[in-house]
Amino acid sequence: MIPANLTLPERPPAKVSPYFGMVPIPAHDFPECFSNFCFKSLYIKEEAIRAMVEIRTECNQLLKENKIFNVSANMNNFRVDEFRQKQASAIAQIGHNTGEQGWVGKLAKIIKVSFEDVGKGWFNIKEDSKETYEFGKLKKFLTLVNFMMQDTVLTMSKDSVKEFVDFILCFCPKETRIVSTKEVYNTFNKKKLTPEDSDYEECPHQDVDEGKRTELQHAEVWLHSMFDKNKDPEPLFVLDLILKPNQAVPIPTYSTNPEDVVTKMLEVFDEGLEILKKIPQLEPILMKHLFKTHGQQYLKAPVRPAQKPSEPDPNKPSVLPDENTWLWEAYAALKEALSEAIKPLFEYVQTFSQFEPEN
């Protein structure tokens, strides 16, 4: 593959190893450079370094143990209101875990304990001069912590929103075929496992006629059907088909309006993001004596755009794209999938209406 006339460049001359094993550097004023570094760096005291390590640990722990929505494996076959209630409980739990009784309170305690004995200087937690505090390192330290907290909230939002949308979409069929009131076939948008896949599990006793299988073989086949990765998902919501009373001709309808399913799921989506706007900032909590006239301040959290964000103009580099475009796209995908999923329900009611009810 290498051409025959390829000419390699000459080898560079070997570097001479320094006699004392040190790399020479230009002459400079080391005390001044070191002083400038200490003036600009936050990591000049052991207390600041330890506090930052513990804060990062708490942020990682929050991401590991908390999600905004409840999308556990057994979340199916619920009434719509029951499902929404479970999501409301999960959202309320996130509000508690991230508030002053949870995550924020732990971070505040870490900083208080770390800087309690520092005393006067750059990291004086008991500083009573607002002007001195504004030019001190503690202000910069809390600003850095604030950015870390906002990054944690953003990461948790993206992970939770993606997980919730994927969870709902896996229950939405891409195609529904209604033959009769007893025959309805759904096709889901998922990859079918084949014998070529490593996690494929073949149904046992396929070579044995169903009528000749033993009780143990029937049990093994049943267990495989229960946990078969290729089987369609169980219904997420349970809707009852009822007849409207006091009608000359019975009219079939649902116990829950299918359009309410779409509305309530979108409300859950927005409520989960709304709770993140109530996470307080650390600075007013730790420095209450300097922020007496300020109300409670909150972390910056993702906000779903009210309208679809426009594409940035390449001729205007100063105009940045909307940072929450991903949130609008997730919301639109959820709304579209749910709206398409409820259409066959109305078609099913029309099919049901064609048959006379039996007494």
Summarised one tens digit per residue, pLDDT across range 244-295 is: 776 666 677 888 888 999 999 999 999 999 999 999 999 998 888 888 766 7
Q: Does the pLDDT at position 340 exceed 80?
A: yes
Q: Are strands 175-178 and 241-243 parallel, antiparallel or unpaired?
A: unpaired
Separation CA 189–CA 340 (nearest Å): 13
Residue 191 in contact with residue 357, Cβ under 8 Å? no
| Chain mean pLDDT for the chain | 85
Indicate the residue type of 198.
S
- Residue with the two structure tokens 């219904």: 235
Tell me the one-letter amino acid at 281. Answer: Q
From the centroid of its chain, how far is CA 221? 37
Q: Residues 190-226: pLDDT tens digits?
A: 766 666 766 667 777 777 777 777 888 777 777 766 6
pLDDT score of 62 more than 80: yes
**Helical residues (DSSP H) of the chain, grouped into ranges:** 30-40, 46-65, 80-98, 103-115, 130-134, 137-169, 215-227, 258-274, 283-286, 325-353
Q: Where are the domains of the chain?
A: 43-188+257-301+322-353
List, for residues 138-155, the tens digit of each pLDDT value: 999 999 999 999 999 999
pLDDT of residue 353: 61
CA neighbor of 161 nearest in space, from 67, 72, 263: 67
Tell me what pLDDT residue 327 has.
94
Whether 74 has a pLDDT exceeding 90, the answer reads no
- What are 204's two structure tokens? 């046992």
CB 321 within 8 A of CB 312: yes
41-45, 145-149, 176-180: the lowest-pLDDT one: 176-180
pLDDT reported for residue 359: 44
d(CA 170, CA 233): 8
Tell which wins on pLDDT, 212 or 332.
332
* 3-class secondary structure, 313: coil
Query: 112 pLDDT band (50/70/90 cuts)?
Result: very high
In order, the DSSP letters of 47-88 are HHHHHHHHHHHHHHHHHHH--SS---TT--SB-HHHHHHHHH
Quote the pLDDT of residue 233.
78
pLDDT of residue 256: 86
Contact yes or no for 321/309 (Cβ under 8 A): yes
User: Per-residue pLDDT averaged across 229-249, rounded?
Assistant: 76
Q: Could you give the percent of the chain with pLDDT greater than 70?
A: 89
Spell out the long-range contacts of 339-343 with Cβ–Cβ below 8 A and sequence spacing 24 or more: 339/262, 340/172, 341/171, 341/172, 341/173, 342/258, 342/259, 342/261, 342/262
pTM of this structure:
0.80
Greater confidence (355 vs 341) lies with 341
